[in-house]
Amino acid sequence: MNRSATRSSVRASLTLAAALASTVLCATASAAVPWDTSHGTAAALASPVSSERGCPIVYFDLGETLVHTADDGSTGYQPGAASYLRDLRERHIRIGLITNVPPSWGTTDAERAARLKKEVDATWRGSAPFAWKDFGDRILTPRTEAERKPAPALWERAKADSGRCRLVYQAETAEEVEVAASLGYVPYQVARPHRPAFLPVRLIEHLGRSSR
């Protein structure tokens, strides 16, 4: 695919994600008004996704997406992040992290993830601890400097481990979201004005049911 076609594909993916999110937000804001079935989402969003299928998988960046670092160096949840992760957990939607850390933190993802947890927990000031256990072993970090985002390596590794699950990527930076979109992820830039802080959970359930 040439560069122009790739850019067009990315723009289309980003536009679709934003439009669908707006549809869900409007629908939930007015229970008295039936959802517009012409969008093809009303029936799919009405019931929860089966936990047995285990799809989709939602990957996040960490810093300034789920976690905020204050001026004094302390860390805590971004507004709405704790309740959002809880909603995903209650619906049995698997989640993961795709985040940059120094490759020197370990020789495996597990070792680097363990160091990341220590670093975050050491400065944590939230009333509830960060939900590390929800991510399981789906914490992907660069093995070399060349793998650091926005290089595509971490997204490609996550995709290779996903089977046939639909993949979502949420981050605060447009560049990372665009790279994820170019690799087939459903992209969402968080904390944008006039949009939900995160991609609505009911939309993620719908994406998991969609055929590929």
C-alpha closest to that of 108 among 141, 155, 148: 141
- Indicate the CATH number of 3-28+52-209 among 3.40.50.11140, 3.40.30.10, 3.40.50.11720, 3.40.50.1000: 3.40.50.1000
Phi-psi region of 170 (alpha: psi -120 to 50; beta: other; left: phi over 0): beta
Q: Which two tokens stand for residue 176?
A: 């990372």
- Burial (CB < 10 A; 0-12, 13-18, 19+), residue 5, is exposed
Q: What is the pLDDT of residue 55?
A: 86
Q: What is the pTM of this model?
A: 0.77
Distance CA 18, CA 196 (A): 9
Q: What is the pLDDT of residue 186?
A: 96
Q: Which two tokens stand for residue 87?
A: 């909603």
Q: What is the pLDDT of residue 124?
A: 97
Q: Which two tokens stand for residue 23?
A: 């549809």
Distance CA 179, CA 174 (A): 9
pLDDT in tens, the chain (212 residues): 555 544 554 555 555 554 454 443 333 332 222 222 222 223 323 333 333 344 899 999 999 999 999 999 999 999 999 999 999 999 999 999 999 999 999 999 999 999 999 999 999 998 899 999 999 999 999 999 999 999 999 999 999 999 889 999 999 999 999 999 999 999 999 999 999 999 999 999 988 676 44
Backbone angles phi, psi at 192, to 5 degrees: -95, 145
Pairing of strands 57-60, 67-69: unpaired
Q: What is the pLDDT of residue 78?
A: 96
C-alpha closest to that of 62 among 20, 111, 124, 146: 124
Q: What is the pLDDT of residue 29?
A: 30
- Domain parsing of the chain, residue ranges: 3-28+52-209
Q: What is the pLDDT of residue 187?
A: 97
Which residues make beta-bridge pairs with 186? 168
